[in-house]
Amino acid sequence: MEEIIINDKQIQEIADRTAAIVLHRLKDEPNDAPVYVSVKEAARIIGVSVSHMYKIRDEYPHIRRGNNQQGHIFFIRESLMASLPTSNINNK
């Protein structure tokens, strides 16, 4: 097999092209991490008031961040969207 010699400029071009390909693929691949939304955004998504969202919070997957009772509640956006009738999803 013949030895191939490449110079520094060619190495840099290969590295730049590789980085561009990786970035493009990362942008196209969906991220599996859940997207969390605030109570206000969750209420908007399902079409209820913020106070009602607090009352029905246990009907949807959520997390609490912060200190005990003073913490903030965040909902998983995808689970909220999945609970909507199909006709409402296009409007959100």
Answer whether residue 40 is part of any domain. Answer: yes
Range of the domain at 77: 36-89
Answer whether residue 22 is part of any domain. Answer: no
Answer whether residue 13 is part of any domain. Answer: no
**How many domains does the structure of the chain reveal?**
1
Tokens of 8: 């520094």
Q: How far is CA 13 from the centre of its chain?
A: 32
Residue pLDDT, tens place only, 11-32: 898 888 898 888 877 776 666 7
Mean pLDDT across 64-88: 82
> Is 33's pLDDT higher than 90?
no
> Is 56's pLDDT higher than 80?
yes
Residue with tokens 């030895």: 3
Answer whether residue 28 is part of any domain. Answer: no
> Average per-residue pLDDT in the chain?
85
Instruction: Give the residue from 88, 75, 92, 64 showing the smallest Cα distance to 34.
Output: 75
pLDDT reported for residue 19: 87
